[in-house]
Amino acid sequence: MTDSNAPLSNITLGQAFWYWLKLGFISFGGPAGQIAIMHQDLVERRRWISEKRFLHALNYCMLLPGPEAQQLAIYIGWLMHRSWGGMVAGCLFVLPSLVILIALSWVYLAFGDMPAVAGVLYGIKPAVTAIVAAATHRIGARVLTNPWLWGIAIGAFVAIFVLHLPFPLIVLGAAMLGYVAGRVAPAQFAVGGDNANALRTFGPALIDDTTPTPAHALFTWARFTRVLLTGLGIWLAGMGSLSLVWGWEAVLTQMAWFFTKAALLTFGGAYAVLPYVHQGAVEHYQWLTALQMIDGLALGETTPGPLIMVVSFVGFLGGWRNAVMGAEELFLSGAVAATVVTVFTFLPSFVFIFLGGPFIESTHGKLGFTAPMTGITAAVVGVIANLALFFVTHVLWPEGQSGRFEWAALCIGLAAAVAIFRFRLGVIPVLAGCGLLGLAWALV
């Protein structure tokens, strides 16, 4: 494991491997929490990348369909250690979550009605809410460095919470505002904003503000074509293999096809694509029931990795229900289906980063490109605040605001908030403690 004071030039792919593996196990709290963890580790403590370069990469990831935190990990891994670095970072970001969700999905099907299991989940939900709220505060304090950016963030919150505008439209509006405002007040929309002077306190970084783009990250049409053909080839090989072995109408093949389409529609994160997944997985294919879909979302919220990992739960239940590997191999059926769904959901993220990363690196330091992207980052803070509010309402009023109010969940959530804000406890101790509180409440 790389120490925070280790020489920056000595960071190897092997050392990075262990960091990305650790991140895969501690990346709780949704995209806000995951991005905050990476910022604290890679910008502030380990100094693998400077604040400006970090935000420049993040802004690009915000534009893409798919999980932006995982894409940010791919981007940084690729920038540091070429394509192998990106693949290691991206795969390890989701692999622990896949293993944990396969195990939890089996526990859910085998023991989900037990009060102890339900109690632990009851306590973890408000803890996750507090983690997301704390991460929203952290990333907002870092990004919203002037009134211009505050205005964009507030406007984005109103747009999504009050007006229910689609996330792509909010991104487009923020980019346009950033472009126009960047010409009026360029200093306010340089990456880092008014906080740029404070960034120097972190010390020099391996990938610093003035570090030249490495040779492998330079844009060429030959490389662009090679990456595009490789990505399409991998996808076609996977789809072709499933079709040849099981047939086009088989459950696994249809899962691969459906979740490929879902991966291209996930603008705005997991919650933006859940209606599409619900319509297809529950209503059309009937891989699981509506109530099971809600339970899967709860499990997805309480495990590390992107929130869109709930699709692995969908795959497990669909594979189990249809016994895709045989009636005597239900666990294997669920595990294989969950793996297929995960691969086809996250494959596009790697292609997007490897394709677009070199172009984004060529725009580093150019205000004409960075100002719109800074505007997008500010807007995303407002969207994440809306996500935190979504968590609060669904945890405290699980049956809707006309239903009962969960006072116990409120107390557990407040305890988690105090632990995070006042005592600065880590994610894992907070989740473990709140899970025990939920278990005690259920048993009492």
Q: How far apart are CA 171 and CA 65, in angstroms?
A: 12
Q: How far apart are CA 204 and CA 47, in angstroms?
A: 7
Q: How far apart are CA 269 and CA 309, in angstroms?
A: 11
288-298 pLDDT, tens per residue?
A: 987 788 778 76
What pLDDT is attached to residue 266?
A: 64
Q: How far apart are CA 85 and CA 14, in angstroms?
A: 9
Q: At residue 30, does pLDDT exceed 80?
A: no
Rounded average pLDDT over 334-361 = 94
Q: How far apart are CA 311 and CA 331, in angstroms?
A: 17
Rounded average pLDDT over 75-92 = 95
Q: Which two tokens stand for residue 5?
A: 């004071």
- Band of the pLDDT at 364, cuts 50, 70, 90? low
pTM for this prediction: 0.73
Q: What percent of the chain has pLDDT over 70?
A: 86
Lowest mean pLDDT: which of 55-69, 151-165, 176-190, 254-268? 176-190
Q: Which long-range contacts (CB under 8 A, 24 or more apart) does 235-239 make?
A: 235/260, 235/344, 235/347, 238/343, 238/344, 238/347
152-185 pLDDT, tens per residue?
A: 889 988 988 888 887 668 878 888 888 887 778 7
Query: Look-up: residue for tokens 């439209």?
Result: 169
Q: At residue 247, does pLDDT exceed 90?
A: yes
Give 3-state DSSP helix, strand, coil % of the chain, rounded to 5.
Answer: 80, 0, 20
Angle between helices 30-38 and 68-111 in degrees, nearest 10: 130
Q: Which two tokens stand for residue 11?
A: 């960071």
What pLDDT is attached to residue 275?
A: 64
Q: How far apart are CA 312 and CA 305, in angstroms?
A: 11
What pLDDT is attached to residue 301?
A: 67
Handedness of CA 423, 429, 430, 432 (dihedral sign): negative
Q: Return the number of other C-beta atoms located less than 10 Å from residue 194's C-beta.
A: 14
Q: Which two tokens stand for residue 361?
A: 């690196």
Q: Which residue has the higher pLDDT, 64 or 21?
A: 21
Are 435 and 441 a contacting pair, CB within 8 Å? no
Q: How far apart are CA 436 and CA 161, in angstroms?
A: 33
Handedness of CA 431, 432, 433, 438 (dihedral sign): positive
Q: How far apart are CA 207 and CA 204, in angstroms?
A: 8
What pLDDT is attached to residue 297?
A: 73
Are 167 and 383 a contacting pair, CB within 8 Å? yes
